[in-house]
Amino acid sequence: MNIDTMLSQILYCLSGFLFGIFASRYSVISWRTLASRPPLLQCAPYVLFIIAAFTLFPFWLITRTEAGGFIYYATLLFFFTKGYRADKKG
């Protein structure tokens, strides 16, 4: 393994972590908005964001690097469940 490959893997893992934090925060906001049962046309962007955050973007990232995709999913699920529980408490 050369230094270029190692550095690119580190950067992909870092980007997976940062994108995971961003996606988890806005996924919790989207979930909270959907739970308030808005009209159908207003909830479309929130549904699209959740679909993109949990399926489209991870599949795209996994085609680049498996480590970045794994870090993204782990970060997304950890912070989403943490935010969901905190939002549910009050």
3-state secondary structure 45-86: HHHHHHHHHHHHHHHHHHHHCHHHHHHHHHHHHHHHHHHHHH
Closest by CA to 45, choosing from 34, 37, 35, is 34
What is the C-alpha R_g of the chain? Answer: 15
Q: What is the pLDDT of residues 33-47, one digit of tens each?
A: 998 888 888 899 999
pLDDT at 89 over 90: no
Closest by CA to 14, choosing from 82, 72, 64, 60, is 72
The overall average pLDDT reported for the chain is: 90
Q: What confidence tier does 90 reach under pLDDT thresholds 50, 70, 90? A: low
Amino acid at the residue 31 = W
